[in-house]
Structure 1
């Protein structure tokens, strides 16, 4: 059982430990807007038209979504591209009155939507960002017009053990969090670098990803991972009212026996309670589908948000 948990957490770290960024040059060549701050969130607003809130993943900067946003500009889309506090060099922020970091980020994002008067926006999230998108749509079902989830599961703890519960994985998750916080700096950074392999096709991205990972707040990273491992959203998915698209990846796990169909079956099981969910699998993209399979992802998103 311990080996199963260790394997699950290694997979978790590979899935969620580095959604970091494109280069600054690529980002600023496509965007001229000045980022704004809202409750310690950093948000860059690009374009005019239908609002799309774009949330990157663990340790990620908003630059993750740069190419996707640029591709949607012909469809009159206004991107609201988020970087969460504590990730990719952005100063961390914790609400002393809240124990749960994810719930705090969910509420800040919902407050942003309300304060900016975004009318029936699309919410799109990658990895941990997809998890937050689900939490937001569960919390306020009438707020969102569409939900797009990129390579995210509703309960990561059940990846290798379908019978796992949020309670049963807590001891292993607590051990993972403790190890992350107690490591010396060199060991922690080596662990971050090791998790990056298999997340993206282009090896030139790895140095950039490592830089952003090392610039993230370790305590926030550890807490976010712990919460993602121990929160099970599967039973609450029936509260989501907006049409939902889930885009999944499987190819990075082919050496471990995964197939496109077996991974699709895992996604279908995880999202079984979400009525009408549409699940699509990339043919060969790894975790960063917006980089590895950009035309496919962009077309999937474009068609989905344009559908009546």
Structure 2
């Protein structure tokens, strides 16, 4: 990805400790490309912002009159980790970044965990959030199999999953990671690239972020979202377990409270749609943004 600017983001506000002020550690870095209407692109769990390289080349080309701000979250893909709740800090610092950079209400495109963060921005910071594009992400990941699950049950599920991940030795953790990623992209080169990012990610950051995703339920909160929202989902990786109609019904059910949401499922793409069906994804995004 051509880098026209690299910015290390600090906390927008200041933390007062007596008479002194200190900035929080950076929850993400940003690569900025292009000139024009601002877009913020957020990658998924354990991914680098480089995942958006092909997308940025098209959405923020010189002819597109757009400016892409691509995040890489702390602790992912070789970026230094930070203490505390990564997603909460990233949300607050992103709101600060939008204000500091005078981006107004930028469109936000988020993949997987990045989609969750985009939803949180629209819920908690509506004045700083424009159109949303949610790429293969759900408001309540832990509720896909059991829609009636309660918050305590979600938390218990997350805690159990985190304990199991922490108990794995290095070889078992790596093997589990490889099995998971193999189902998420089609081309071997893409699979290896994604695995490489995971290997360079801080394990505890990944475990904590995954726990947050599993324990969270935004299905009712999305009713607060005022931003026009496009959700792009996938189903083909689950074809041996459920038909397309069932997967689509899950998306519709989870986003039922989001007014005016548009939902479309890719025909052949796995989780990393930007790799498996880039033309389809970019076409849908451009149509939606314009």
Task: Confirm or deny a common fold (TM above 0.5).
Answer: yes
Q: What is the deviation of 1:86?
A: 0.2
Cα offsets for 1:73-117 (capped at 9, x unmatched): 23211000000000000000124xxxx432222111111111111
User: Could you tell me how far apart the structure 1 residues matched to 2:227 and 2:155 are?
Assistant: 31
Q: Find the partner of 1:249 among 202, 226, 234.
A: 234
Q: Which has the higher helix share?
A: 1
Q: Secondary structure at the match of 1:142?
A: helix
Aligned length: 272
User: Could you tell me how far apart the structure 2 residues matched to 1:249 and 1:166 are?
Assistant: 26
Question: Aligned ranges for residues 30-69 of structure 1 at < 5 Å?
Answer: 31-39=2-10, 40=26, 41-69=28-56
TM-score by length of 2: 0.91
User: Could you tell me how far apart the structure 1 residues matched to 2:256 and 2:229 are?
Assistant: 12
Question: Aligned ranges for residues 196-211 of structure 1 at < 5 Å?
Answer: 196-211=181-196
What do you get for the CA RMSD once the two structures are aligned?
1.2
Report the counterpart of residue 129 of structure 1 in structure 2: 114
Unaligned runs of 5+ residues in structure 2 are: 11-25
Report the counterpart of residue 19 of structure 2 in structure 1: none
Cα offsets for 1:160-209 (capped at 9, x unmatched): 11111221122222111112123221221121112111101101222221
Report the counterpart of residue 289 of structure 1 in structure 2: 273
TM-score by length of 1: 0.86
Question: Aligned ranges for residues 1-308 of structure 1 at < 5 Å?
Answer: 27=1, 31-39=2-10, 40=26, 41-72=28-59, 73=61, 74-95=63-84, 100-256=85-241, 258-306=242-290
Cα offsets for 1:222-269 (capped at 9, x unmatched): 00011100110011111111100000000110012x222211111010
User: Could you tell me how far apart the structure 2 residues matched to 1:48 and 1:172 are?
Assistant: 44
User: Could you tell me how far apart the structure 2 residues matched to 1:168 and 1:105 are?
Assistant: 26
Q: Secondary structure at the match of 2:153?
A: coil
User: Could you tell me how far apart the structure 1 residues matched to 2:194 and 2:125 are?
Assistant: 33
Q: Secondary structure at the match of 1:45?
A: strand
* TM-aligned CA distance change 1:46 to 1:136, over 3 Å: same
User: Could you tell me how far apart the structure 2 residues matched to 1:232 and 1:171 are?
Assistant: 13
Q: Which has the higher contact order (CA 8 A, sep 6+)?
A: 1
CA contact (8 A) 1:198 1:252 kept: yes
Unaligned runs of 5+ residues in structure 1 are: 1-26
User: Could you tell me how far apart the structure 2 residues matched to 1:189 and 1:172 are?
Assistant: 22
